[in-house]
Structure 1
Amino acid sequence: MLHRASQVAGGTTSGLRRLAELVEEFTHRVLDPAFPCVFAARPVLEDTLLFGLAEAGTTAEAADLLAEAAAAISKEPEQIVVIFADLPGAGSLPAEREFSAEVLRLLRRLDRHDWPQTTPLDPQDPRWVFWFEGVDFFFNFSTPGHRDRRSRNLGPAWTAVVQSRSSFDTFAGADHRARLHIRARLAGYDTVAPHPALGSYGDPGNHEAHQYFLGDGAGPGRPLVGVEDLRPPGQFG
């Protein structure tokens, strides 16, 4: 179930108490004046974010919460949702990356909607977007395993910050100035250079699927999923 931050404070169940802890740490990091994303503070301060916790750390739980996120975004296109999961062996970047990829694969299998015909299935195409339940998702996967890339470490649990791709563009600004400002701030926050995979949607060299999970180094990005993972649900065995 998804909750606003104000709804989890003082929770009486172990799940709500853990969620409250994670929300508190997330809030602390995002409200740090040095945090690169200048848009992050507003929804935190306005208590408009929705939070959920996959208590057992399974892809099925994460997928259920992301289905709730899709429903919430369908009702309110600018809604941002934050999903946490306590994974076994937290801090292993390869394991956290694979968990993120498995979540996307599962979502594709569960999706009840056809993707728009204008959306290519090849994640290497600059026009590619991941659709789920009729929502054009943008994913930011942040994990405890991100150490040098501090901007992708939002607390002690695997974290997925999701919103509509369309609303992401609204927040960032069509003239790209906001993106340039954020990437300049990244240089002073992370201990590695801004990742070369960062780009603007629609630009010829942009790849959305590379940006979902950034590595901790400066090497080129690679997509979390490939064409073989994105077949229509009925084509999976």
Structure 2
Amino acid sequence: MTILYDKDSLQKHIINLPNWQQEAFCSFKLKMTDKNKPFPCIPAQHGFTANHLRYGFIGDPRDTNTSEDFATLLKEYTECSRDTGQYASLIVFIHTPIDLMRETTVKDFEHMYWSLLNTTSHLDEMEWPTHIPNDPMENTWEFCFHNESYFVYCATPAHVNRQSRHFSCMMLALTPRWVLQGIMNSEKRSRKLKNLIRQRLAAYDKAPIHPSLKDYGEKDNYEWQQYFLRDDETIPSKCPFSRIIKYLHKNK
């Protein structure tokens, strides 16, 4: 059974959770509150402090039922997200057993990430939104579920050079498009925030800022390239989601 938590309820019940879930949330809390090494995503820190984030746990990404749990969690979150605050995001901690943690490369995690998104999308009860293109090579494409569009960040234990994408277990952070639009609604504020984030990224990561990090809607921007950043500057030749999207969702 999947449970959607806010920060207060999670901290209240954390002692009753499995060890890996306790460790995952504690690691996340440390990452969000580290003043000596501030996490680059400033809105994520605001969301954590203000209790606008919601949290959930799902199983091993290799298990077939994990996508079902993810779909259930994401549907529940989508239905309540607009009531959670202006810095809303869903944080999904994914069970990453020791063997998976030790033996899995960044590219292996990348494959599991896209496999999870693909299978979860197949469980969506709603049609793909008509205002979002089916083709990931369109500059306004993004992942959608339950009629909501999301930016789907991924972090893994295998990332080393790109510490902004490193976490103790495989983790997703899904941010609704309406949140990003609200944060960037002022050109002056948007420019200042992006500059601050890039400054933090440069200090946080050993790797240079990834060339895929661009603005939504820009002519040469592809959101899917930003979802899962590799530990170097390479980019997949084709979006792994595009292989089945045309068969799963068709605009009416």
Question: Under a length normalisation based on structure 1, what TM-score does the superposition of the two structures give?
Answer: 0.87
Say how many residue pairs are matched: 233
Displacement after TM superposition at 1:71 (Å): 2.2
Gaps of 5+ in 2: none
Gaps of 5+ in 1: none
Displacement after TM superposition at 1:199 (Å): 0.6
Displacement after TM superposition at 1:125 (Å): 0.9
Do 1:63 and 1:103's aligned partners in 2 also have CA atoms closer than 8 Å? no
Summarize the Cα distance change of 1:50–1:31 in structure 2 as closer, same or farther, 3 Å threshold. Answer: same
Residue among 46, 58, 64 paired with 2:72? 64
Structure-2 separation of matches of 1:95 and 1:75: 36
Do 1:63 and 1:106's aligned partners in 2 also have CA atoms closer than 8 Å? no
Structure-1 separation of matches of 2:77 and 2:240: 21
Do 2:156 and 2:165's aligned partners in 1 also have CA atoms closer than 8 Å? yes
Do 2:110 and 2:228's aligned partners in 1 also have CA atoms closer than 8 Å? yes
Q: 2:39 maps to which residue? A: 35
1 or 2, which has the higher helix percentage?
Answer: 2
Q: Which segment drifts farther, 6-15 or 197-206?
A: 6-15
Displacement after TM superposition at 1:234 (Å): 7.1
Q: 1:169 maps to which residue? A: 181
Residue among 58, 67, 85 paired with 2:94? 85
Structure-2 separation of matches of 1:188 and 1:181: 11
Q: 2:57 maps to which residue? A: 53
**2:164 counterpart of 1:156:** no
Structure-2 separation of matches of 1:40 and 1:150: 15
Q: Where does 1:44-193 land on structure 2 (aligned, <5 Å)?
A: 44-57=48-61, 58-73=66-81, 75-76=83-84, 78=86, 79-88=88-97, 89-90=100-101, 91-153=104-166, 155-175=167-187, 176-177=190-191, 178-193=193-208
Root-mean-square deviation over aligned CA pairs:
2.3
**2:15 counterpart of 1:7:** no
Structure-2 separation of matches of 1:142 and 1:55: 16
Do 2:128 and 2:249's aligned partners in 1 also have CA atoms closer than 8 Å? no
Q: 1:208 maps to which residue? A: 223
Identity rate of aligned residues, in percent? 24
Do 2:118 and 2:244's aligned partners in 1 also have CA atoms closer than 8 Å? yes
Summarize the Cα distance change of 1:190–1:54 in structure 2 as closer, same or farther, 3 Å threshold. Answer: same
Output one character per residue of 1:31-62: Cα deviation in whole Å (capped at 9) or x when no partner.
22332122222221222211111144433333
Output one character per residue of 1:71-91: Cα deviation in whole Å (capped at 9) or x when no partner.
232555743110011234125
Q: Which segment drifts farther, 186-195 or 103-112?
A: 103-112
Summarize the Cα distance change of 1:132–1:205 in structure 2 as closer, same or farther, 3 Å threshold. Answer: same
Summarize the Cα distance change of 1:180–1:136 in structure 2 as closer, same or farther, 3 Å threshold. Answer: same
Give the secondary structure class of the aligned counterpart of 1:230. Answer: helix
Summarize the Cα distance change of 1:223–1:160 in structure 2 as closer, same or farther, 3 Å threshold. Answer: farther
Question: Under a length normalisation based on structure 2, what TM-score does the superposition of the two structures give?
Answer: 0.83
Give the secondary structure class of the aligned counterpart of 1:51. Answer: strand
Structure-2 separation of matches of 1:234 and 1:186: 36
Give the secondary structure class of the aligned counterpart of 1:40. Answer: helix
Write the letter of the residue equivalent to 1:11: I
Do 1:143 and 1:156's aligned partners in 2 also have CA atoms closer than 8 Å? yes
